[in-house]
A and B are shown apart, each in its own frame.
Chain A
Amino acid sequence: MKDVLRKIVDKAIEFGAEYADARYERIFSTNITFSNDKIEKISTGMNEGIGIRVLANGAFSFLSSNILNIDDLLRQLKDSVKSAKFFGEKRKEKIKLADVKTVKDKVVVKSLNPPQEYPLEDKVSFISELVKNSRSLDTHVVNATAIIADSHTYKILVTSEGTEIRYEIPRVYFGLDVVAFEAGRSAWFGIRKASPGGYEFIKKFSPEDISKEVVEKALKMLKAKPAPAGRFTVVADNDLTGVFIHEAFGHACEGDIVAAGESILKGKLGQKVGSELVTVHDDSTIPNGWGSLKYDDEGVPTQKRVLVEKGYLKTFITNRESAYKLDLPPNGGGRAQNYSFPPLVRMSNTYIQPGDYSKEELFEDIKYGVYLLGSRGGQVDTAKGTFQFNAKEAYLIEKGEITTPLLDVSLSGYTLEVLSNVDAIGKDFDLWPGFCGKGGQAVPAGTGGPHIRIKNAIVGGKK
């Protein structure tokens, strides 16, 4: 396949492109949902395809297909180069790519029990166990749904500049959701666990413990009261801190958004954007990190990026195009969901550096506030700098004590203010897996940090 890709990029240059890259991916995947007493959904199979990106006359064109007929692809490629040239004529400013060293490498993310070889029966029995345990724990549990999803991706990237990277990455992901019902009212709680690698990952967990934790929380949520509305002091747990920094700040640091003039952080490099307690990293190099990658989908080696250091904005996440425009080094932030999309600038593992507060110290001065844990995600408007993110679990804080559970709570804030409102940072640390969506593409992204305290946060409650 590497030779086919080489032929494709050579042809692109022959057709008149300045640069071309071709990515082949073959993805074996399994997705199983087990609900109450049966396999509700199951899907297993292989998907493969090629994505070709060309830069001609200072403009891009991209095509993808899962019909791997080389003649058909070359016919489309010719049109594709022609389109890019035509675009180039319409542009005032030519797109250029920051220079990078070419790479020839093979990366294999290890798996002791590769997803393709792990028996389907065993995948099913792991999640059916989670479901059975959950249902047997309490009669108020009316539904338990567990999912398991794996993928084993083989990628090859070839660029016209000479880069050739083979990449093999297996991933395993599972989750459990429980619905509890009592006296006309229901509550829902769920967890997600994921890791690069194979099925050795699930052996780290005891299905009994997971079920117990999820059921207990769902039952607790049955007693939850509506959240207050207005501005409060908030304590966020590790998981929520991660989603907070990802939404509130990380997206606004994406080089393509900055270069397009659509980030409230544009032109603010070197400026103070938050309290000196706050240091934010986006690190693609964490061993076995959910969002870690050795090379991005442009073949650029990734790195640990210091976005904010002691309150000062230090750098942006870049791909080759935005690095050139912003006059920053390319730092390996160009990622694509799969072969059928061109790469965009994406985060990897984003977190706040731990500080020196113990958990007790974070809470003790709070007369009335909200403690938020876990998250179902969030959203940001990078140009306005407003964001929202949601908590899976919430409690009132009264006189330093964690008290009443609260119904679904979200926070909203303003990117340029919120890091100044972080007034205490815990010393604990944890990272969580998630998927981040942008431009219709979802990629694995890790988020995390310590417990943190935020003053004056807007809580979207009922009263």
Chain B
Amino acid sequence: MKYALEIGEKLGASQVEVFGANSLSRNVEAEKNEIKIATSKKFRAIGIRVLYNGGIGFSYTATLTKDAVEKSLKEAISVAKLRGKDPYYKSFPSTEKITRVQGIFFRETAEMPLETMVQDLIDMIKITLDYDKRITSVSAGYSVGVSEKYILNSLGIDLEEKYASSSIGVFSVAEESGQMTSGYEFQAERNVEKLDIEKVALTAAEMTIKLLNPRKIETAVMNVLLKPLAVANLLGPTLVRSLRADNVQEKRSFLVGKLGSRIAVDGLTIIDNALLPEGLSSRSFDDEGVASKKIKIIENGILKSYLHNSYTAQRGNVENTGHASRGPLSEPSISPSNLIIEFKEKKEAEKIISETDKGVIANSLIGAHTANPVTGEFSVALGEVFYIESGEIKYPVRQAMIGGNILEILEKINFLGKDKRQIDSVFTGTISFQNVTVSA
């Protein structure tokens, strides 16, 4: 792809950057207790950026012939002309020392045979169905994928990295005296050998059966315990979106002007660590080739840093935190890597439940994506909810909702569970929030 840099410079660009991606994902799905479909998806493309007369241009192509690349470069230059000189952006990133993160590619994942995936799915279905005869229908999925990204630019960046990922999931339905309910569980790992078929199937089955015969509760103020999936559901569309420096600079964030001030309960610390071994969002460098590092986002409730890419860092005149994120078909955006949630009061999740006098515990949030990303207001239904009284889980709850502002609810954290797991970018245990109004 070096020729793209040469052609671009010949066409008059002062700097050129190529971001390429190749991926192959394979997936097997089962529905209603039977294997249904295998899919395989191959994709490759490059995104080309240029700096031309101080303006940023972009274009992409999936055809990688010299002619197609030249055409794409010309399109990028015409976009740069249309945009005009950018007042903030001077240069693409330059080379720096890269620390290679461990555990992001596993041959075992890349070479996982289809036959094994199918047998594992059949086993998962059997384990789930055998758990209880009230379980009537099981769907399950198994995915493995490999991807490779490469970045080259006129300042000498020439990097590539390979990633592997794998995941399994089980969804089961139970029926009893005309009533229906469902439960599920999933696991995602870089290393396919860490997937625990039996545990995932049993967890889904157990959750499903426990959710039978839900009861109504009354609207009241109580403790709300959110399991890791629910925490990730809550933070993704609210806090994470507002941490992006592009949203802050464009005033589309509720964290504008809050750097250095307290935004959450004292004792809450959030670290973004792209170098976490085997982390699902780990990478040695971001999607502009900037070295990954460990960044404190929130420390004891104080907002320490936003998430930057090269554009927002130059505009804000601050150090680039290395959070550029993109596919080849678009310009770089910003996203976190592994967001690690820490809290001063940590306990076993069971202990948090046993110390809860009155509350609910929810596995997920339904409709979290409808939260207001600019103000942090949310109003969501709780998914897979149980009522807790006097330290014991009493019964499943049919309907419950919570609403409010993310910064207000972050003030209400009183415990973090030790049951840590990673969901997308968020690495957390169960979090307990005190005095939350639950509508029912």
A-binding segment of B5-13, B289-297, B338-346, B396-404:
B396-404
Q: Which of B206-248 contact A (CB under 8 A)?
A: 211, 219, 246
Task: Tell me how far the C-beta of B345 lies from the nearest C-beta in chain A, rounded to whole angstroms.
Answer: 25
Task: Tell me how far the C-beta of B292 lies from the nearest C-beta in chain A, rounded to whole angstroms.
Answer: 23
Contact A458 B367 (CB under 8 A): no
Alpha-carbon distance A236/B362, docked complex (angstroms): 28
Interface of B is mostly: strand
Out of B79, B374, B380, which one reaches A179, CB within 8 Å?
B374
B-binding segment of A32-40, A273-281, A442-450:
A32-40
Task: Tell me how far the C-beta of A211 lies from the nearest C-beta in chain B, rounded to whole angstroms.
Answer: 17
Query: Nearest A residue to B137 by beta-carbon distance?
Result: A261
Residues of A within 8 A of B331 (CB): 41-43
Task: Tell me how far the C-beta of B430 lies from the nearest C-beta in chain A, rounded to whole angstroms.
Answer: 21
Q: Which of B115-153 contact A (CB under 8 A)?
A: 115, 118, 122, 136-137, 139
Task: Tell me how far the C-beta of A52 lies from the nearest C-beta in chain B, rounded to whole angstroms.
Answer: 10
Interface of A is mostly: strand
Task: Tell me how far the C-beta of A359 lies from the nearest C-beta in chain B, rounded to whole angstroms.
Answer: 25
Alpha-carbon distance A229/B220, docked complex (angstroms): 9
> Would A377 and B381 be within 8 Å (CB), given that A229-B401, A262-B171, A462-B403 are in contact?
no
Alpha-carbon distance A36/B315, docked complex (angstroms): 15
Alpha-carbon distance A84/B370, docked complex (angstroms): 39
Which of A62, A384, A413, A462 has the most chain B CB within a 10 Å cutoff?
A: A384
Task: Tell me how far the C-beta of B245 lies from the nearest C-beta in chain A, rounded to whole angstroms.
Answer: 13
Out of B31, B36, B180, B366, which one reaches A383, CB within 8 Å?
B180
- Tell yes or no: A234 within 8 A of B by CB: no
Alpha-carbon distance A376/B372, docked complex (angstroms): 9
- Tell yes or no: B251 within 8 A of A by CB: yes
Interface string of B50-75 (1 = CB under 8 A from A): 00000000111110000000001001
Interface string of B239-278 (1 = CB under 8 A from A): 0000000100011101000000000000000000000000
Which of A187, A385, A388 has the most chain B CB within a 10 Å cutoff?
A: A388
Contact B399 A412 (CB under 8 A): yes
Residues of A within 8 A of B137 (CB): 260-262
Contact B44 A412 (CB under 8 A): no
Residues of A within 8 A of B78 (CB): 120
Residues of B within 8 A of A121 (CB): 82
Residues of B within 8 A of A181 (CB): 251
- Tell yes or no: B98 within 8 A of A by CB: no
Out of A41, A67, A187, A414, which one reaches B44, CB within 8 Å?
A67
Alpha-carbon distance A185/B372, docked complex (angstroms): 13
Q: Which of A34-70 contact B (CB under 8 A)?
A: 35-36, 38-49, 59-67
Task: Tell me how far the C-beta of A190 lies from the nearest C-beta in chain B, rounded to whole angstroms.
Answer: 9
Interface string of A64-78 (1 = CB under 8 A from B): 111100000000100
Query: Can you list 13 pairs linking A and B with CB atoms under 8 Å apart?
Result: A41-B330, A43-B58, A45-B59, A64-B39, A120-B79, A179-B374, A229-B437, A342-B39, A379-B367, A386-B383, A388-B381, A388-B401, A462-B403
Identify 13 new A-B residue pairs, CB closer than 8 A, beyond the known A62-B38, A413-B399.
A31-B330, A41-B333, A43-B330, A121-B82, A143-B252, A188-B252, A227-B403, A387-B381, A408-B372, A412-B399, A461-B437, A462-B403, A462-B404
5 closest residue pairs by CB, A with B: A460-B401, A390-B370, A388-B367, A383-B182, A261-B137
Which residues in A have some Cβ–Cβ distance to B below 8 Å? Answer: 31, 35-36, 38-49, 59-67, 76, 80, 83-84, 86-87, 90-93, 95, 120-121, 124, 142-143, 145, 177, 179, 181, 185-188, 226-227, 229-231, 256, 259-262, 264, 340, 342, 375-381, 383-390, 407-410, 412-414, 458-463
